[in-house]
Structure 1
Amino acid sequence: MMTELQEAYGFLFEKELLEEIAECGSIRKIEVGERIIEFGDYVTGMPLLLNGAIKILREDGDGDELLLYFIERGDTCAMTLNCCMGQTKSEIRAVAETDTTMIMVPIAKMEEWTARFKSWRNFVFESYHSRLSEMLDTIDTIAFLNMDQRIMKYLRDKAKINGDETVQSTHQQIAYDLHTSRVVVSRLLKKLELDGKIKLQRNQIKVVDL
C-alpha cells in the first residue's frame, strides 16, 4: 500500500502523513460500474484514489441523474468530504468509471490531520476548489452549449479519463449522464459521425476529434 500511496500522493503529503494513512486506512477495490456511494447514505470515510476513476452524479426530484464531474488518481471527492465532516446524508451517487482502487480514511483522522498537517489542509482546500470549478464548468456546459457540443465534451472527457480514444458507452448511458433522452443522443451521435468527429461502433464510440 505504501508504494501506491507514494506514487499517487507522495508529491502532496510528507512521509509521516503517508505512513499514518497507510496505517489507519483500508484498501477497497471496485469494479467498473459498481456503485460506491448512494443517495441518502451516511459516509463514514473519505476516499483517496490510488488508481482508476469515479464519476459523481446528482439526482433531481424526478429521479433523473446528471453527471457533475470525475475524480481520478490523486484526487478525493469534496462532496464526500463535506458529508463526512457534517455527518449528513450523501446527496450524490459515486460510480466506478473504471476498475478502481482507493483507500478509505476514517473521519476522526481527517479532523486530526487538518490540525496537524499543513499539506493535508492544503489538499482539502484544493479539493474543494477543484470540485467547485468542475461543477461551475458543468453549469456553464448546460447553460451555454448545444446538446451536440455537450455530447462531444462528454466523450472527450471520458476518453481522457480512460486513456483511450474508444469510449465504452451505450446511447442510453450517455442520455442518463447528460439528463436527456436516448433518441436525442442517438440522433446527435449520428450527426457527429457524419461531421467526422466520431465513429460509431456497437456499444462503443471512437473519438476522432480529440
Structure 2
Amino acid sequence: MIKELKQHYGFLFEEELLQEINQVGTFREVPEGFMLMDIGDYIKSMPLLVNGVIKILREDENGDELLLYFLERGDTCAMTLNCCVGQKKSEIRAIAESPAKLIMVPVEKMEDWMQKYHSWRNFILQSYNSRLSEMLETIDTIAFMKMDERLLKHLRDKAMVNSDDILSTTHQEIAQNLHTSRVVISRLLKKLENEGKIKLNRNSIHVIDL
C-alpha cells in the first residue's frame, strides 16, 4: 500500500504522514457498481481514492437520486468529511463508477492529523473547497440549463472522468443520475444524435462533441 500512497499522495503529504496512513489505513478494491456507502450509514472511515471513479448521489423523499459529483484519483469526499467530524449518519450514497482502489482511513485520525500535519489540513480544506464548487455547479446546472444541455454536460463529465468517449450506460441510469424519466432521456439522446453530438450504439453511447 505504501507504493500506491507515495505514487498518488507523495506530492501532497510528508513522509511521516504517509507512513501513518500506511499503518492505520485499510486497502480496498471494489468492482464497478459497488456501493461503498449508503444514506443513513454511520461513517467509520474516510476514503482516499487511489484509482478509479466514485459517484456521489443524494436521494429525495421519494427515493429518486441526483448525481452531485464524481470523485477521481487523489480525491476524498467532503460529504464524508462532514459526517466524520459531526459523527452523523451519511447523507449521501457512494457508488463505484468504475473498478476502484481506495485506502480507508479511520475517522478518529481526522482531528489528530489536522493538528499534527500542515499538509493534511491543507488537503482537507482544499477538498471541502473543490466539492463545494462542484455542488454549486450542480445547482447552477439544475437552475439555469435546459435538460438537453444538462444531459450533454453529464455525458461529457462522465467521459472525462472515465477517460473514454465510449460510455457503457443505460438510459435508465442516466435518468436516475439527472433526476428525470427514462422517456425524457431517450428522446433527448436521439435529439443529440441528430445534432451530431453523440452516437447511440446498442449498449453504449459515443460522445462526439467533447
TM range (shorter): over 0.9
Provide the residue aligned with 1:80 in structure 2.
80
Provide the residue aligned with 1:159 in structure 2.
159
Alignment of 1:1-210 (within 5 A): 1-210=1-210
Residue 29 of structure 1: SS of its match in structure 2?
strand
Q: Give me the CA root mean square deviation.
A: 0.6
Query: What CA distance in whole angstroms lies between the structure 2 residues aligned with 1:120 and 1:18?
Result: 10
Q: TM-score, normalised by structure 2?
A: 0.99
How many angstroms does 1:164 deviate by? 0.5
How many angstroms does 1:84 deviate by? 1.1
Amino acid paired to 1:58: R
1:7-26 per-residue CA deviation (whole Å, 9 max, x = no partner) reads: 11111111110111011100
How many angstroms does 1:85 deviate by? 1.3
Sequence identity of aligned pairs in percent?
Answer: 64
Query: What CA distance in whole angstroms lies between the structure 2 residues aligned with 1:202 and 1:95?
Result: 24
1:110-165 per-residue CA deviation (whole Å, 9 max, x = no partner) reads: 11111100000000000000000000000000011110100100000010111100
Amino acid paired to 2:198: I
Residue 143 of structure 1: SS of its match in structure 2?
helix
Query: What CA distance in whole angstroms lies between the structure 2 residues aligned with 1:123 and 1:132?
Result: 14
Amino acid paired to 1:30: V
Query: What CA distance in whole angstroms lies between the structure 1 residues aligned with 2:127 and 2:151?
Result: 26
How many angstroms does 1:203 deviate by? 2.4
Residue 185 of structure 1: SS of its match in structure 2?
helix
Amino acid paired to 2:45: G
Residue 103 of structure 2: SS of its match in structure 1?
strand
Q: TM-score, normalised by structure 1?
A: 0.99
How many angstroms does 1:6 deviate by? 1.1
Residue 108 of structure 2: SS of its match in structure 1?
helix
Amino acid paired to 1:76: T
Query: What CA distance in whole angstroms lies between the structure 1 residues aligned with 2:203 and 2:91?
Result: 30
Amino acid paired to 1:173: E
Gaps of 5+ in 1: none
How many angstroms does 1:78 deviate by? 0.7
Amino acid paired to 1:26: T
- What count of residue pairs does the alignment treat as equivalent? 210
Residue 95 of structure 1: SS of its match in structure 2?
strand
Amino acid paired to 2:179: H
